[in-house]
Structure 1
Amino acid sequence: MKINKLFLILVIVFTNCIWAQSIAEWHTSMGSFQVMLREDLVPITAGNFMDLTNSNFYDGLIFHRVIADFMIQDGCPYGTGYGGPGYTIPDEFHPDLLFDEPGVIGMANTGSPNSAGSQYFITVVPTSWLNWSYAAFGNVIQGMDVVNDISVVPTTGAGGNPPNKPLIDVDIDSIRIVTPQLYAIIPEDDSLYIDEGESIVFGVLSDDENLEYFWYIDDVLQDESDFIFSVTFENDGEYIIESIVFNGNYEYPTAWYVFVNNTNIEEQICSNTNYLFQNTPNPFNPETIISFNVIAEDAENAELVIYNLKGQKVKQFAMRNLKLGMNKVVWNGTDDSGKSVSSGIYFYELKSGDYQEIRKMILLK
């Protein structure tokens, strides 16, 4: 994995939290196809779909709505378009994941904000008018011909009851996540700034006991073959730490960029932009600190919210009397009513002006 240093600096300045992506595979009565899920860009939306997939929610369902030159839709347990999982998730958008090309998967909704649940659609043409109204969360990477074939099957038409339902069911035998599945990546932030001589513990955690682990420092394979890898950075400079998790068929890569004794870059970033930091400590128990930077013109409208894995709001912090620049809040693992929440993975989101960032944290009890 060769990365030009100038390019690396630009990546650190303009983006953060570059995670790997999972691949989901559909097996239907008309063939198979694969979608790359972008949990790196929209973790709540992609995570919700993965949770439903892992619970076999979609197995045995049908594509209940099909419109040629537009899209195919699934995810209703009743096959009518009016069913869901019994909950909804918040809308989640990213400028790097838009409906500007065919083969984009997005969440269907009722037309109201934050109303998506389990129903999704896959486009067969560019549909830019859907941008910022429907949450995209991946792209077809294999078998687009199958998706196109499904999109032109005979249907009941727009005036049918139900409308646009295939006359012959297109069955979904199963959807499976075929890449290795990790429930935590430590540290969550992929851009790390430390002092010379400090150590960092890297980890890629999974419930699958049949995975192989490979670790690299600047493309050099290390002896460690476990899911945990500890490194002491004795010299200043820039380092790339990479983990490859292999399940026998697919790899799941994760990379961290470590800047040793180079905090000036971080200070420059934070003095001029809105920025959400990784919480510390992480994992945590009983409390953790969430740090964030806000700039003058956005400070009055900043929001910091914690969600659970289903995208349900757990805690919204009162953002009164914010300082310009660095701010910190402490979360003690309780919800808005003061009740302690269970162990698990939680998302926290900062919105400040046009800035929106989501990170993950782990509560262990």
Structure 2
Amino acid sequence: MMKLSFLGIILLFFVGSFQLHAADEPVQVRFITNQGDIELTLDPVNAPITVANFLNYVDQGFYDGLIFHRVIPNFMIQAGGFDVNLQRKETAAPIANESTNGLSNTRGTIAMARTNDPDSATSQFFINVANNGNLDGHPLRPGYAVFGQVSAGHDVVFAISRMQTRSRGGHQNVPTTPVIIERAERVQQVVEE
């Protein structure tokens, strides 16, 4: 009985160590949109709360059918909150702001959208299409938390950023042609032997 307990503790230690290591590895997510695919590499080391929150939405299929509802050329493209009819989707609770994590809002990075309350981010995110260092957090001023970057589909991102927009349903900068996230999914990593 004592050996089994000891063996169980050792096994739990190794399983726990593997999970901890796995949580430190970059995670890839693919957005399959009607304009093309966008792949993201997320950074759970520097933005653990934000990445866990984002992956929870991805794993639930939350983003499927939502649109990029705010597109501003030479600034960013935003999604994660509204369907094609601009109906807001119900979200989980807001998360803590991780904008002082050392990651910067540079071209091609993904960050969380929020209200004036620094700790109000839920499901909405934006992809920077320019270097937007003014959005970075500082010790005395919270910013917008970067939690990854585009790893494939840059052309799709920049094509979306140049789309014609209009005001619609109380929202500005809505693409005239809806940009729909048909599916969001984790990209399975291939382990080389």
Match of 2:91 in 1: 85
Is 2:107 the partner of 1:97?
Answer: no
Whole-angstrom CA distance in 2 between matches of 1:138 and 1:124: 14
Letter in 2 for 1:146: V
Per-residue CA shift, 1:1-24, capped at 9, x if unaligned?
xxxxxxxxxxxxxxxx89210011
3-state SS in 2 of match to 1:169: coil
Per-residue CA shift, 1:148-187, capped at 9, x if unaligned?
0001110015x9832000111011111111135xxxxxxx
Match of 1:161 in 2: 170
Match of 1:68 in 2: 73
Whole-angstrom CA distance in 2 between matches of 1:84 and 1:107: 17
Is 2:117 the partner of 1:112?
Answer: yes
Match of 1:10 in 2: none
- Which ranges of 4 or more aligned residues in structure 1 deviate by more than 4 Å? 81-84
Per-residue CA shift, 1:84-111, capped at 9, x if unaligned?
5142111113443111x21110000012
- Is this contact kept in 2: 1:41–1:94, CA < 8 A? no
Letter in 1 for 2:161: S
3-state SS in 2 of match to 1:113: coil
**Which of these residues, 134, 141, 147, is aligned with residue 137 of structure 1?**
147
Per-residue CA shift, 1:305-338, capped at 9, x if unaligned?
xxxxxxxxxxxxxxxxxxxxxxxxxxxxxxxxxx
Match of 1:176 in 2: 185
3-state SS in 1 of match to 2:57: helix
* CA shift for structure 1 position 41: 1.1
If the length of structure 2 is used for normalisation, what is the TM-score? 0.78
Per-residue CA shift, 1:253-288, capped at 9, x if unaligned?
xxxxxxxxxxxxxxxxxxxxxxxxxxxxxxxxxxxx
- Is this contact kept in 2: 1:102–1:123, CA < 8 A? yes
Backbone CA RMSD of aligned residues: 2.2
What pairs up with 1:23-34 in 2 under 5 angstroms? 23-34=28-39
Going from structure 1 to structure 2, the CA distance change for 1:23 and 1:112 (only over 3 Å counts) comes to same
Instruction: Report sequence identity in percent.
Output: 36
Going from structure 1 to structure 2, the CA distance change for 1:65 and 1:36 (only over 3 Å counts) comes to same
Is 2:146 the partner of 1:148?
Answer: no
Relative to its length, the structure with more strand (as a share) is 1
Whole-angstrom CA distance in 2 between matches of 1:83 and 1:111: 20
Whole-angstrom CA distance in 2 between matches of 1:126 and 1:160: 29
Letter in 2 for 1:49: F
Whole-angstrom CA distance in 2 between matches of 1:74 and 1:67: 12
> Mind listing any 5+ residue stretches in structure 1 that lack a counterpart?
1-16, 181-249, 253-365
Match of 1:297 in 2: none
Letter in 1 for 2:164: P
What pairs up with 1:12-27 in 2 under 5 angstroms? 19-27=24-32
- Is this contact kept in 2: 1:35–1:142, CA < 8 A? yes
- Is this contact kept in 1: 2:65–2:83, CA < 8 A? no
* CA shift for structure 1 position 54: 0.5
Whole-angstrom CA distance in 2 between matches of 1:146 and 1:30: 7
Going from structure 1 to structure 2, the CA distance change for 1:31 and 1:78 (only over 3 Å counts) comes to closer
- Is this contact kept in 2: 1:84–1:119, CA < 8 A? no
If the length of structure 1 is used for normalisation, what is the TM-score? 0.42
Query: Across the two proteins, how many residue pairs are aligned to each other?
Result: 165
Per chain length, whose mean CA-contact separation is higher, i.e. which structure has more relative contact order (CA < 8 Å, sep 6+)?
Answer: 2
Letter in 2 for 1:96: G
Letter in 2 for 1:121: F
- Is this contact kept in 2: 1:179–1:251, CA < 8 A? no
Whole-angstrom CA distance in 1 between matches of 2:127 and 2:170: 22
Relative to its length, the structure with more helix (as a share) is 2
